[in-house]
Amino acid sequence: MKKKIGLVSALAIFMVVAANMDFSNGNGSGVNYGWFTLVPPFVSIILAFVTKNVIISLFIGIFSGAYVLHLATSNSFFAIIQAFLSVVDYALTSLADPWNAGIILQVLTIGGLIALMTKMGGAKAVASALSNKAKGPKSAQVITWILGILMFFDDYANSLIVGPVMRPVTDEKHVSREKLAFIVDATAAPIAGIALISTWVGYEVGLIKEGYEAIGQTVNAYGIFVQTLPYRFYNFLMLAFVLATILLLKEFGPMLNAEKKARNRTLYDEDELNMVSSKEIDEMEPAEGTKLSIWNMIIPIGTLIVAAFVGFYFNGYNAIIENGEAAAIAVLKASPLSLLAIQEAFGASDASIVLFQAALLASLVAMTMGVSQKTFTWGEAVDTWINGMKSLIITGAILLLAWSLSAVIRELGTAEFLVSLLSDTMPVFLLPSIVFILGSIISFATGTSYGAMGILMPLAIPLSAALSNNPDFIIITTGAVLTGAIFGDHCSPISDTTILSSMGAGADHLEHVKTQLLYAIVVAAIAIIFGFIPAGLGLSVWIVLPMALIVTVAVVYFFGKRVTQSVSEILK
């Protein structure tokens, strides 16, 4: 009760203080929201941890931002009314965006596909097969890590496929849902951001090209992208960190408690293992007498992956041919199946549409297989598919609110304010570190890596070129932008990838954020101290990166506490 009274009082104080603020620039032109630009992400994140309700927290965060926006043109009473109406407008606008609509359709369709495979016994058969390979918590986590690496081409596909596939296995081997969600999340954006062929490449390469054009240089942007890879310290260190915790069976912080609880399953309430996001699918056990076959999962998932790859190519190919640059068009026409052509096509593709199409095709394949095996009729197949979609409706709602929050943040100019606040005069060698920190803060506050990249890249490349005439220094700074933006995408509670990872793993979203946040901060600190600072001082990256990897493993070894391998060890 005291907590609720405190929250209501804090919100009331905020509204009164904001209503008495002068947001004018002082010269009669424009609006300056100052520190109030930080209100929406701050309110959303704090409320999420306090109330344990993501939807309410995001709603109030959007409302608070809209309230500040409307105070610039009206009094507090009308600002409250307009803010409520704006929340609806933001949601409608977000849903009307083709990319966002495609993502929601993709999420729902993959939920339906998972339900079909579960009903046919495919999920149970694969879980059984993997259980035979997974002899304990360590091997179950290693398999999850490897599957995450294999889903390199898209972070959304990773989050929505690996979690549901591995959840029965990790449950059986007493691995916490929080650790499963962490492994999935840590192999989603960190992998997609550095993969040579992925749905991220086009955006990253485009930003690099524009940044170099701003300093009057025409470069092979993809070549620069490849050169930045060794400087993506956070990405590589996070992958190493996850693997180290798995192989050493050591954890620390909130994750240690989650893993200890999972090992001693008697401490679990069974209801905790069936989160709202996965109840519908968990209830879809195969009908009695259904012949379990791993092909009932391998074929639909294989269809999804193959269709995604083919779709990425043709979608990107058509986009380039219709509206692309002359150089890219020439590459596609001269050698359409070359590595460079495939990279260009993947980079230009619309991942949201392609993955929705691929999931829809895979669903039709799964339905056909189930009907042919007499597992269900066509009518029952459709019912199962729709019931599976229901399991991820809450994910769609959270994504919609997260996008609406991003729109409010964009209007307030939160990212620009953070850049101006934190990018004062600094020693030259610290620029990559400062850029990484800026990218981390912006991406965490806004929940989007793309937004952080888009804000920082046009600033970072010209600034690094002005401070140093060393081409490698510009590449280091460019890498700092791209990997700093990954931090927030990986661990922000309002990041769509974080949301999808917790939903796919069946973990409580806020518990997932809480257990992985300390890990993300530790890895980011190592990336700065043992990565960007030495690299900024001119030390070779081929010395810096191995050193940082060794430090990462050492942190897990010396600061982590061993979690028992099995329940039998606990009972000794």
Q: What is the DSSP string of 182-247?
A: HHHHHTTHHHHTT-SSSSSHHHHHHHHHHHHHHTT----HHHHHHHHGGG-HHHHHHHHHHHHHHH
Task: Collect all residues with Cβ–Cβ distance below 8 Å to 201 and sequence separation of at least 6.
Answer: 195, 222, 225, 343, 346, 347
pLDDT over 70, % of the chain = 82
Euclidean distance between CA atoms 476 and 563, whole angstroms: 38
Most confident of 58-67, 299-308, 410-419, 524-533: 524-533
- Strands 561-562 and 250-251: what pairing? antiparallel
Euclidean distance between CA atoms 320 and 326, whole angstroms: 9
Euclidean distance between CA atoms 443 and 541, whole angstroms: 25
Is residue 343 predicted with pLDDT exceeding 70? Answer: yes
The CA angle 172-177-179, to the nearest 5 degrees, is 105
pLDDT of 570 reads 41
Cα 266–chain centre separation: 32
Euclidean distance between CA atoms 559 and 252, whole angstroms: 7
Between 239-243, 295-299, 452-456, 474-478, the lowest mean confidence (pLDDT) is in: 452-456
The CA angle 221-485-424, to the nearest 5 degrees, is 95
Nearest to 166 by CA among 332, 301, 307, 10: 301
Backbone angles phi, psi at 561, to 5 degrees: -110, 135
Is residue 96 predicted with pLDDT exceeding 80? Answer: yes
Helix (H/G/I), strand (E/B), else coil: 31: strand
Euclidean distance between CA atoms 210 and 457, whole angstroms: 9
Q: What is the DSSP string of 107-145?
A: HHHHHHHHHHHHHTTHHHHHHHHHHHH--SHHHHHHHHH
Most confident of 82-86, 353-357, 557-561: 557-561
pLDDT range class, residue 270, cuts 50, 70, 90: very low
Please give the mean pLDDT across all residues of the chain: 80
Cα 425–chain centre separation: 32
Of residues 238 and 3, more confidently modeled: 238
pLDDT of 273 reads 44
The residue ranges of every structural domain in the chain are 2-96, 99-195+282-393, 210-231+396-545
DSSP state of 562: E
In the numeric block, the tokens 């997974």 are attached to 134
Element (H, E) at 156: helix 155-172
Nearest to 493 by CA among 23, 13, 57: 57
Of residues 44 and 566, more confidently modeled: 44
Are 446 and 38 contacting, i.e. CB atoms less than 8 angstroms apart? no
**Average pLDDT estimate for 165-173:** 86
pLDDT of 278 reads 46
pLDDT of 248 reads 93
**Average pLDDT estimate for 258-264:** 88
Locate 331 and state its tokens: 């590459």
Of residues 154 and 20, more confidently modeled: 154
Euclidean distance between CA atoms 452 and 446, whole angstroms: 8
Residue 55, number of CB atoms within 10 A of its CB: 15
Most confident of 125-129, 272-276, 280-284, 438-442: 438-442
pLDDT range class, residue 277, cuts 50, 70, 90: very low
Is residue 267 predicted with pLDDT exceeding 50? Answer: no
pLDDT over 90, % of the chain = 22
Is residue 87 predicted with pLDDT exceeding 90? Answer: no
Of residues 142 and 469, more confidently modeled: 142
Euclidean distance between CA atoms 219 and 226, whole angstroms: 13
List residues bridging with 251 in a β-sheet: 561
By CB neighbour count within 10 A (0-12 exposed, 13-18 middle, 19+ buried), where does 149 fall? middle
| Cα dihedral across residues 300, 302, 308, 314: positive or negative | negative
pLDDT tens readout for residues 193-248: 888 766 676 667 777 877 787 788 877 677 788 889 999 999 999 999 999 999 99
DSSP state of 425: S
Between 80-89, 452-461, 522-531, the lowest mean confidence (pLDDT) is in: 452-461
Helix (H/G/I), strand (E/B), else coil: 391: coil
pLDDT tens readout for residues 498-531: 888 898 888 888 899 999 999 999 999 999 999 9
Q: Is the full-model pTM beyond 0.85?
A: no
Euclidean distance between CA atoms 363 and 111, whole angstroms: 10
pLDDT range class, residue 113, cuts 50, 70, 90: confident
pLDDT of 46 reads 77
Are 404 and 94 contacting, i.e. CB atoms less than 8 angstroms apart? yes
Euclidean distance between CA atoms 484 and 527, whole angstroms: 10
